[in-house]
Amino acid sequence: MTYPENYKYTKEHEWVLIEGDKGTIGITDHAQSELGDIVFVDLPKPGAAINKGQTFGSVESVKAVSDIYAPVSGEVLEINTGLSATPEKLNSDPHGEAWLIKVKLAKPGEINELLAPADYQKYIGA
Amino acid sequence: MPRISIQGKKPSLTPGAAAENRHNICVFNKKQRPAAAIQDQPTSLENASKSLEKSLLTPGKLAKTTPNATLKITSPWMPDTTELKRTPLFETHLASKAKMVDFGGWNMPVQYSSIIEEHNAVRTAVGLFDVSHMGEIEVRGPQALSLVNYVATNNAAKLKPWQAHYSALLYEHGGVVDDILVHRLPDGNMFLCVNASNQEKDFEHIKQVVGKSFDAEVDFASDRYAQIAMQGPKALATLQKLTKTNLSEIKYYWFADGAVGGTPARIARTGYTGEDGFEIYIAPGEAPGIWNELLKAGEEFAIRPCGLGARNTLRLEAAMALYGHELTASINPLEANLGWIVKMDKGDFVGRAALEKAQTAGLTRGLVGFEMKERGIGRDGYEVWIEGKPAGWVTSGGPSPTLNKNIGLCFLPAAKALPDIAIQVIIRNTPVEAVTVPAPFYKRAKA
């Protein structure tokens, strides 16, 4: 699995794609691989505020529960509602179709604190 | 049927003396468990693999990550891997790119590809498990049967030669030391299969309670056996290719000594999945070769090697107890629905007096199945409420791949340990609706 060049990453294994003042957030391929078969996703409602470094939802695999941490602060614009019926998409396409939420950025400067793809891959030892 | 004789040592056991006992910490007070477990929630995806292990581990024990060739986890508490014990199939698992975890002090595969796919392979065809971490204890001598009958709850005197049954070792106070399989050999000797993380404790317990009062020798035999479980509706057809023993003549919970792939093997029609299948005891040095032959024999049925993850989801659907979860030193077998393996009328046995007292006083709690009604997964250690008040705890819980529901087992006050009781499982401080249901959740169709 490749780590898209235009995404930024966190040490907690989330990614964010910035487009203008909006960000799309998901979990990394490394995260889904460590979790195994994902069977449950819990996401905030549109309109909710998320804060960088704080948990905004959770994913569960057959064996494990994991919090998802916000890579950036902002307001939730949209959630990927399809994941509630097909959480397994997080295993097959974590960097694409299985994005989690879209947010309006509150502090665009925060993205400078995130990891570039090469740095993230180095971090996970890929 | 010939008697097998297995000799030799497990080749790749790593532990030093310290490691021998470090995993033997499996007793904890259930009453204290729920609150502690709730604080145990993982805090980030970074911790996912830790919690993956933790959920398989004996509660109360610190989970450790397991660095190896196929799995790299950045963790501030990387353990010294030399502390972890290995089965003779360790290298085989690494070569198969299995995800390895610390399970009660053993470095074991939790999954090879996907827990769900491995689970489904066992339900629909056949799967292969390395269960060499399980312990073996041999009891030999004129009073071997009497000894076993005195330390274990089921009535070993009812066993015919080549027959096996499920039983339990108890403390005098009635709590469970371990749940075990007892096999009766034609010469009167007894072969016990015990849980991995309890094996030294069991051995010491048996020696301690029987003292010298029986004319029998208790032998810690774990190093002489590897154990491979082949489970699923196609297990018989697969295994039959590699043995001359007529497997269809071995009834459920009977066993035979024969050969598998030319290697002396004890073949028991037992298992921990709710499916038909066999547990095969062989010399440790033969395990890698036999493992690969068994996988090859199962190719036509799309056999899969299966890890402890699938072993756990399979046994949970079948509502089979897991020591450290449904059974502990502070839970008696009657509470855990194991009255069927406790034979009060067989004569005295260790723990009998305490159970009699508990029965007379009336059981205070019982184990019951549940399924989630709302979105959410009730997991091991979560608190259970009834009508807004704390009532019990989840002993084992998770998604059921076969039923596509979120299921579990929980302890509740005896009067509420019945089907159709509305309960709430506390998932991250939020009560989520569930209902008690009859267990097992899954029963295979009888052939």
Q: Using CB atoms, which residue from B42, B111, B312 is nearest to A66?
A: B42
> Which chain B residue lies closest to A15 (C-alpha atoms)?
B45
B330 in a structural domain = no
CATH number for the domain harbouring residue B380 = 2.40.30.110
Q: Tell which of B321, B353, B375 closes a domain.
A: B321
> Distance (Å) from the C-alpha of residue A65 to the closest C-alpha of chain B?
7
Mean pLDDT of B203-214: 90
Q: Do B376 and A40 touch (CB under 8 A)?
A: yes
Domain that holds residue B428: 364-441
Domain-located, residue A46? yes
- Whether residue B345 lies inside any domain: the answer is no
Q: Is residue A113 part of a domain?
A: no
What residues of chain B lie within 8 A of the CB of A69, using their CB? 44-45
Which residues of A, range 43-82, sit inside 8 Å of B by Cβ?
A: 55, 58-69
Question: What is the model's pLDDT at position B70?
Answer: 28
A40 touches chain B (CB under 8 A): yes
Is residue A82 a part of any domain in this protein?
yes
pLDDT (0 to 100) of residue B25: 25
Whether residue B45 and residue A35 make contact (CB cut-off 8 A), yes or no, is: yes
User: What is the H or E stretch that residue A123 is in?
Assistant: helix A117-123
Name every chain A residue with its beta carbon within 8 A of the beta carbon of B372: none
SS3 A42: strand
Per-residue pLDDT of B20-50, as tens digits, reads: 222 222 222 223 333 333 333 334 454 444 4
Q: Which residue of A has its CA nearest to B401?
A: A62
Check whether residue B184 and residue B144 sit in a common domain: yes
How many domains does the structure of chain B reveal? Answer: 3
Percent of chain B with pLDDT over 70: 81
Q: Of B159, B182, B217, which marks where a domain is finished? A: B217
B86 & B125 share domain? yes
Would an 8 Å CB–CB cutoff place A86 in contact with chain B? no
Residues B176 and B29 reside in one and the same domain: no
A96 contacts chain B (CB < 8 A): no
Beta-carbon contacts of B314 under 8 Å, excluding residues fewer than 6 positions away, are B119, B122, B123, B231, B272, B273, B274, B275
Give me the CATH number covering residue B243: 3.30.1360.120
Paired tokens of B75: 């963790």
| A-B Cβ pairs (cutoff 8 Å, strict) | 95
Which of A31, A64, A69 is nearest residue B51 as measured by Cβ atoms?
A64
Enumerate the residues of chain B whose CB falls inside 8 A of the CB of residue A65: 41-42, 51, 377, 379
Extract the tokens encoding B208. Answer: 């301690």
Using CA atoms, how far apart are residues A120 and B46, in angstroms rounded to an integer?
A: 13
Asked if the structure places residue B357 within a domain, the reply is no
For residue B309, the chain A residues in CB contact (below 8 A) are: 36, 62-63
Asked if residue B328 belongs to a domain, the reply is: no
Average pLDDT for chain A: 96
Mean pLDDT value across residues B229-241: 98
Number of domains in chain A: 1
Considering the domain architecture, whether residues B125 and B245 belong to the same structural domain is answered as yes
Angle, helices B199-210 vs B144-151, to 10°: value is 110
Residue B194 CB partners (closer than 8 Å, separation 6+): B134, B135, B136, B137, B178, B180, B202
pLDDT of residue B8: 32
Among B56, B91, B15, which Cα is nearest to B284's? B91
Which of B217, B237, B269 is at the close of a domain? Answer: B217
Same domain flag for B232 and B288 = yes
Question: What amino acid occupies position B214?
Answer: F
Alpha carbons B161 and B158: distance in angstroms, whole number:
10
Task: Judge whether A124 lies within some domain.
Answer: no
Q: What is the CATH number for A53?
A: 2.40.50.100
Decide if B446 is inside a domain: no
Span A44-78, pLDDT tens digits: 999 999 999 999 999 999 988 999 999 999 999 99
Residue B351 counted as domain residue? no
What's the pLDDT band for B69 if we cut at 50, 70, 90? very low
pLDDT score for B227: 98
- Give A31→chain B minimum CA distance, Å: 6
Chain B closest-CA separation from residue A114 CA (Å): 16
Whether B42 sits inside 8 A of A27 (CB atoms) is no
Q: Give the mean pLDDT of B171-195.
A: 98
pTM over 0.80: yes
B231 and B105 within one domain: yes
| Contact (CB<8Å) A13/B56 | no
A40: nearest CA partner in chain B:
B376
Closest-CA distance, B6 to chain A, in angstroms, reads 36
Closest CB to B55: pick one of A12, A42, A63. Answer: A63
Chain A residue with the nearest C-alpha to that of B396: A63
Find tokens 């964010």 and name the residue: A16
Answer yes or no: is A125 within a domain: no
Give me the residue from A64, A124, A125 closest to B42, CB to CB.
Answer: A64
- Which of B45, B73, B110, B315 to mutate to test binding with chain A, by most A CBs within 10 Å of its CB? B45
DSSP A115: B
User: Is A120 within a domain?
Assistant: no
Structure tokens at A63: 């064996």
Q: How many CB atoms lie within 10 A of CB A48?
A: 15
Which residue range(s) make up the domain with A52?
7-106
Would you say residue B178 has pLDDT above 80?
yes
| Whether residue B205 sits in one domain with residue B123 | no
* Residues β-bridged to residue B103: B106
The answer to whether residue B144 is domain-embedded is: yes
Q: Inter-chain contact A35–B56, Cβ cutoff 8 Å?
A: no
Residue A31 has pLDDT above 80, yes or no: yes
Query: Minimal Cα–Cα distance from A68 to chain B, Å?
Result: 6
Predicted pLDDT of residue B81: 52
Average pLDDT, chain B: 85
Three-state secondary structure along chain B? CCCCCCCCCCCCCCCCHHHHHHCCCCCCCHHHHHHHHHCCCCCCHHHHHHHHHHHHCCCCCCCCCCCECCECCCCCCCCCHHHCECCCCHHHHHHCCCEEEEECCEEEEEECCCHHHHHHHHHHCCEEEECCCCEEEEEECCCHHHHHHHHECCCHHHCCCCEEEEEEEECCCCCEEEEEEEEECCCCCEEEEECHHHHHHHHHHHHHHHCCCCCCEEEECHHHCEEEEEECCCHHHHHHCCCCCCHHHCCCCEEEEEEECCEEEEEECCCCCCCCEEEEEECHHHHHHHHHHHHHHCHHHCCEEECHHHHHHHHHHCCCCCECCCECCCCCCCCCCCHHHCCHHHCCCCCHHHHHHHHHHCCCEEEEEEEECCCCCCCCCCEEEECCEEEEEEEEEEEECCCCEEEEEEEEEHHHCCCCCEEEEEECCEEEEEEEECCCCCCCCCC
For residues B212 and B304, membership in a common domain is answered with: no
Out of B48, B116, B375, whose CB is closest to A64? B48
Q: Are residues B113 and B166 in the same domain?
A: no
What is the Cα–Cα distance from B108 to B91, expressed in whole angstroms? Answer: 11
Residues B33 and B118 in one domain: yes
Which residues in chain B touch residue A62, judged by CB atoms under 8 angstroms apart?
115-116, 309, 313, 398-399, 401
Task: Count CB neighbours of A88 within 10 A.
Answer: 16
Nearest to B44 among A69, A91, A125 (CB): A69
> What are the pLDDT digits (tens) for B139-148?
999 999 999 9
CA closest to A84 among chain B residues: B375
**How many Cα atoms within 13 Å fall on the side-chain side of residue B435?**
7
Q: Do the chains contact at A125 and B114, CB–CB below 8 Å?
A: no
Quick one: what percent of chain B has pLDDT higher than 90? 79
In this structure, the answer to whether residues B310 and B238 fall within a common structural domain is: yes
Q: Which residue does chain A place closest to B113, by CA atoms? A: A36
Question: Model confidence over B304-351: pLDDT tens digits?
Answer: 999 999 999 999 999 999 999 999 999 999 999 999 999 999 999 999
* Residues in Cβ contact with B106 at an 8 Å cutoff, skipping those fewer than 6 apart: B23, B84, B85, B86, B87, B133, B196, B197
In a domain, B308, yes or no: yes
pLDDT of residue A119 exceeding 70, the answer is yes
- B306 and B420 in a common domain: no
**pLDDT tens readout for residues A87-111:** 999 999 999 999 999 999 999 999 9
